[in-house]
């Protein structure tokens, strides 16, 4: 085949455009063009969002048809439409006046009307009415909006045609109707402006609010196990607190939280406990074991394992923090983006002047809002923060990659390198697949950049995903529902959220079959590990931050007690005592220091007759109350009639010092659950 033949092939191709197809393409292109222009006018330049290209329609819009009809210079029709325009604006005026009686007597500034060129009026009017409608957010007005906007453009058209370029007073002589129209429009603008102002001051921005799309993953409560069959129990610690604040939010709203939202260990670990600090830093934390009677089942015992990390003393390690903030439209709610801004500025107070902070946002597109900046330039950081606005489309950007890039560019050896992701659940951060996202975060963890997740808002909260990310990113998942919670997580407990003192902390308990017949771990369902994982240094587990306390509770049935769930076996031989008959079991704990990859081991026996100090007993009792409450919220399968009233009594009796009032709040919460449960 030679060139000539090829050319012929091309030449013989039928390439005459199809008229319909051309028309369709033109319509689509014009729509895109309009969208681009609109976007240019309204886009928030500092965030640079790109709207997705619009769907193409084969038919011109209704608005265009009207415009075409009007240009046919049919004067009757024109007057009809312009009449409609003034009428519609008047209707709006009356509506507004009725809504806001104090402004019913608005005077029309005639001098303004006479100066403003009529041709200029229609467009601003249209835009302002639009703004106003958004500000008010009432459906009725929203319906009116389309009509008014259309009519406003019609009015513009007729104004264009009459070519009024002179003061309105002169125009009045020539075209009374036009003048009337101009007043009507002017009035509309005045109302719209006033209303806009008022709406901004008084009415909370309505914002888009998802309802009922919170996602949780159900994990069945850990079952009771026979010590003779499975004497060893292994799990990873969990320092998240998201579940408690989410449940609190629901309860404050008068509803019981969904069962899947309750994670016992997160509720128990929400509270700081007064465990003794480790004597020295050679071992990053102290382990405290307390055995007490089970309040809900006579004969059973509860084994409390309390871990207390040391507090950072002396110089705080240097920090390099990148905030990855969700600014999608759904964040436009008082309990979301504004709270995020407040939370971030709270955290700034806890950082040192030479620490760096950067801000990356994602929504329609990802963008760096603030390059890494030292905290001493606080004004600059706050200014960048305050510029943020919720808005933008759905398509994701490269948010998370960008955040990691920034964090890596400022990497501090021996310091804290952390990304703090704040979102209401929309994870369009650039990687869509959950597994891929998980893998990405996990790989990045190896590079030393950790990820913490702060959840905000309600209605579209993807709990499971946030847990997964924080777990894989060696970070904390916290749910922030109020400024008070932000204060707790980011100020009072900032050191534990930011500065890890031990990582991959795993707990393994081996129960003694001679003294314990059955046991059950309360909570930690999502953190269970296989027995062999305990000694494997490649298996990831939870981390402990400076000053963190972690509590785990086992419910055990001592051998010989008839409080067990299982009936005795006819054939199995009675376990032979191995000579350690005064031990319930043996506690082993593995951890790695933050910079190390080899784990260290702590172990101690769980004695049957060890006497706990009154302080320890009080703390353990309070933890029990919380654990009981969590089980009640989950359905109370193992509680045998123990109820909210009992939890209330137990919590009240063991409130202790409670310097921050968290326990007092918990007691209120039990009362609320009582009420909500009765409904």
C-alpha–C-alpha distance, residues 320 and 399, integer Å: 17
By beta-carbon proximity to another protein, the closer residue of 36 and 491 is: 36
Q: Does 198 bind another protein (CB under 8 A)?
A: no
Closest distance to another protein from the beta carbon of 50 (Å): 9
By beta-carbon proximity to another protein, the closer residue of 436 and 649 is: 436
Q: Does 17 bind another protein (CB under 8 A)?
A: yes
Q: Does 160 bind another protein (CB under 8 A)?
A: no
Closest distance to another protein from the beta carbon of 430 (Å): 18
Buried b (16+ CB within 10 A) or exposed e, 567-603: eeeeeeeebeeeeeeebbbbbbbbbbebeeeebeebe
Among 13, 45, 98, 211, binds another protein (CB under 8 A): 13
Closest distance to another protein from the beta carbon of 54 (Å): 8
SS3 at position 373: strand
Task: Identify whether the C-beta of residue 474 lies closer than 8 Å to the C-beta of residue 441.
Answer: no
CA 482 to chain centre: 12
Residue 33 burial (C-beta neighbours within 10 Å; 0-12, 13-18, 19+):
exposed
Task: Identify whether the C-beta of residue 226 lies closer than 8 Å to the C-beta of residue 565.
Answer: no
C-alpha–C-alpha distance, residues 437 and 618, integer Å: 42
By CB under 8 A, which span of 1-9, 193-201, 212-220, 433-441 interacts with another protein? 1-9
Among 18, 61, 352, 447, binds another protein (CB under 8 A): 18
Q: Does 139 bind another protein (CB under 8 A)?
A: no
Q: Does 8 bind another protein (CB under 8 A)?
A: yes
Closest distance to another protein from the beta carbon of 364 (Å): 14
By beta-carbon proximity to another protein, the closer residue of 15 and 107 is: 15
Residue 189: closest CA among 128, 107, 114: 128
What's the length of the chain?
Answer: 679
C-alpha–C-alpha distance, residues 566 and 109, integer Å: 86
Closest distance to another protein from the beta carbon of 16 (Å): 8
By beta-carbon proximity to another protein, the closer residue of 14 and 139 is: 14
C-alpha–C-alpha distance, residues 615 and 180, integer Å: 81
By beta-carbon proximity to another protein, the closer residue of 14 and 414 is: 14
By beta-carbon proximity to another protein, the closer residue of 40 and 73 is: 40
Q: In the range 364-423, which residues lie near another protein by CB under 8 A? A: none
Look at strands 285-293 and 301-309 and give their pairing: antiparallel
Q: Does 45 bind another protein (CB under 8 A)?
A: no
Paired with 360 in beta bridges are 324, 368
By CB under 8 A, which span of 35-43, 123-131, 135-143, 190-198 interacts with another protein? 35-43
Q: Does 7 bind another protein (CB under 8 A)?
A: yes
Q: Does 21 bind another protein (CB under 8 A)?
A: yes
SS3 at position 278: coil
C-alpha–C-alpha distance, residues 16 and 22, integer Å: 11
Where in 78-127 does DSSP place strands (E)? none
By CB under 8 A, which span of 26-34, 351-359, 607-615, 638-646 interacts with another protein? 26-34
Task: Identify whether the C-beta of residue 284 lies closer than 8 Å to the C-beta of residue 593.
Answer: yes
Q: Does 52 bind another protein (CB under 8 A)?
A: no
CA 343 to chain centre: 12
Closest distance to another protein from the beta carbon of 534 (Å): 44
Closest distance to another protein from the beta carbon of 41 (Å): 9
Q: Does 138 bind another protein (CB under 8 A)?
A: no
CA gyration radius, the chain: 33
Q: If residue 549 lies in a helix (H) or strand (E), which one and from where to where?
A: strand 549-558
Q: If residue 283 lies in a helix (H) or strand (E), which one and from where to where?
A: none
How does DSSP classify residue 573?
P
C-alpha–C-alpha distance, residues 322 and 325, integer Å: 9
How does DSSP classify residue 580?
-
Q: In the range 223-282, which residues lie near another protein by CB under 8 A? A: none
Q: Does 59 bind another protein (CB under 8 A)?
A: no
Closest distance to another protein from the beta carbon of 21 (Å): 4
Query: 452: which 2 tokens?
Result: 């913490």
Among 46, 53, 74, 218, binds another protein (CB under 8 A): 53
With contacts defined by CB under 8 A, how many residues of the chain interact with another protein?
33
Among 35, 528, 608, 667, binds another protein (CB under 8 A): 35
Q: Does 73 bind another protein (CB under 8 A)?
A: no
Closest distance to another protein from the beta carbon of 400 (Å): 23
Cα–Cα–Cα angle for 133, 139, 145, rounded to 5 degrees: 40
Q: What is the DSSP string of 143-211?
A: HHHHHHHHHHHHHHHHHHHHT--S-HHHHHHH-HHHHHHHHHHHHHHHHHHHHHHHHHHHSPP------
Q: Does 220 bind another protein (CB under 8 A)?
A: no
By beta-carbon proximity to another protein, the closer residue of 39 and 532 is: 39
Among 25, 115, 383, 675, binds another protein (CB under 8 A): 25
Closest distance to another protein from the beta carbon of 153 (Å): 13
Q: Does 58 bind another protein (CB under 8 A)?
A: no
Q: In the range 464-483, which residues lie near another protein by CB under 8 A? A: none
By beta-carbon proximity to another protein, the closer residue of 27 and 668 is: 27
Cα–Cα–Cα angle for 133, 138, 140, rounded to 5 degrees: 95
What torsion do the CA atoms of 534, 535, 536, 540 make, to the nearest 10 degrees? 40
Among 15, 414, 433, 446, binds another protein (CB under 8 A): 15
Residue 103's φ and ψ, nearest 5 degrees, are: -110, 15
By beta-carbon proximity to another protein, the closer residue of 61 and 138 is: 61
By beta-carbon proximity to another protein, the closer residue of 27 and 674 is: 27
By CB under 8 A, which span of 32-40, 109-117, 401-409, 651-659 interacts with another protein? 32-40
Closest distance to another protein from the beta carbon of 395 (Å): 14
Among 40, 59, 598, 609, binds another protein (CB under 8 A): 40
Among 42, 46, 52, 56, binds another protein (CB under 8 A): 56
Buried b (16+ CB within 10 A) or exposed e, 352-369: eeebbbbbbbbbbbbbbb
By beta-carbon proximity to another protein, the closer residue of 127 and 134 is: 127
Q: Does 341 bind another protein (CB under 8 A)?
A: no
Which spans of this chain sit near another protein (rule: CB under 8 A)?
A: 1-3, 6-10, 12-18, 21-22, 24-26, 28-37, 40, 53, 56
């Amino acid at each position: 085949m030679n060139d000539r033949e090829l050319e012929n092939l091309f030449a013989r191709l039928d390439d005459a455009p199809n008229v319909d197809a051309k028309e369709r393409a033109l319509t689509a292109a014009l729509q895109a063009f309009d969208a681009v222009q609109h976007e240019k006018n309204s886009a928030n330049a500092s965030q640079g969002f790109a709207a997705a290209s619009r769907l193409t329609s084969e038919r011109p819009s209704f608005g265009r048809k009207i415009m075409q009809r009007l240009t046919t210079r049919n004067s009757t029709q024109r007057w009809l439409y312009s009449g409609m325009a003034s009428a519609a604006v008047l209707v709006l005026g009356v509506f507004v006046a009725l809504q806001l009686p104090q402004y019913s007597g608005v005077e029309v500034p005639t001098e303004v009307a006479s100066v403003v060129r009529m041709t200029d009026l229609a467009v601003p009017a249209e835009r302002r009415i639009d703004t106003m409608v958004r500000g008010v957010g009432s459906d009725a007005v929203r319906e009116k909006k389309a009509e008014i906007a259309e009519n406003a453009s019609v009015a513009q058209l007729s104004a264009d045609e009459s070519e009024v370029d002179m003061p309105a007073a002169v125009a009045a002589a020539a075209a009374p109707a036009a003048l009337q129209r101009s007043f009507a429009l002017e009035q509309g603008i005045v109302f719209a402006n006033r209303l806009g102002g008022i709406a901004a001051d008084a009415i909370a921005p309505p914002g888009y609010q998802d309802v009922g799309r919170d996602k949780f993953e159900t994990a069945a409560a850990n079952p009771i196990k026979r010590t003779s069959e499975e004497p060893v129990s292994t799990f990873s610690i969990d320092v998240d607190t998201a579940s408690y604040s989410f449940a609190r939010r629901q309860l404050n709203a008068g509803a019981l939280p969904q069962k899947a939202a309750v994670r016992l260990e997160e509720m128990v670990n929400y509270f700081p406990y007064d465990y003794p600090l480790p004597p020295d830093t050679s071992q990053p934390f102290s382990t405290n074991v307390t055995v007490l009677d089970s309040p809900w089942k006579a004969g059973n015992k509860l084994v409390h394992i309390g871990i207390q990390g040391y507090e950072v003393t002396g110089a705080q390690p240097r920090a390099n923090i990148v905030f990855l903030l969700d600014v999608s439209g759904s964040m436009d709610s008082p309990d979301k983006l504004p709270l995020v801004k407040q939370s971030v500025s709270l955290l700034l107070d806890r950082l040192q002047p030479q620490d760096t902070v950067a801000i990356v946002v994602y929504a329609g597109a990802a963008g760096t809002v603030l390059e890494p900046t030292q905290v001493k330039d606080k004004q600059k950081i706050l200014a960048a923060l305050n510029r943020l606005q919720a808005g933008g489309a759905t398509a994701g950007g490269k948010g998370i990659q960008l955040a990691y890039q920034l964090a890596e560019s400022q990497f501090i050896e021996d310091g804290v390198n952390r990304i703090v992701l704040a979102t209401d659940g929309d994870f369009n951060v650039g990687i869509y697949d959950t597994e891929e996202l998980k893998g990405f975060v996990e790989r990045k963890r190896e590079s030393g950049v950790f990820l913490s997740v702060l959840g905000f808002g309600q209605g579209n909260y993807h709990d499971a995903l946030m847990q997964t990310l924080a777990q894989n990113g060696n970070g904390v998942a916290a749910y922030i529902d109020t400024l008070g919670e932000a204060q707790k997580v980011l100020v009072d407990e900032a050191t534990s959220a930011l500065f890890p003192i031990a990582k991959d902390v795993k707990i393994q308990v081996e129960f003694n079959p001679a003294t314990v017949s059955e046991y059950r771990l309360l909570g930690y369902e999502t953190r269970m590990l296989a027995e062999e994982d305990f000694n494997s240094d490649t298996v990831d587990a939870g981390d402990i931050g400076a000053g963190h306390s972690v509590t785990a509770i086992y419910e055990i049935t001592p051998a010989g007690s008839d409080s067990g769930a299982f009936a005795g076996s006819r054939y199995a031989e009675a376990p032979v005592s191995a000579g350690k008959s005064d031990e319930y079991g043996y506690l082993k704990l593995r951890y790695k220091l933050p910079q190390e990859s080899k784990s260290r081991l702590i172990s101690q026996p769980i004695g049957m007759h060890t006497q706990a100090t009154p302080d320890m007993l009080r703390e353990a009792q309070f933890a029990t109350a919380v654990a009981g409450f969590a089980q009640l919220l989950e359905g109370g399968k193992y509680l045998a009639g123990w109820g909210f009233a009992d939890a209330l009594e137990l919590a009240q009796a063991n409130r202790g010092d409670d310097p921050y009032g968290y326990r007092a709040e918990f007691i209120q919460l039990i009362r609320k659950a009582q009420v909500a449960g009765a409904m």
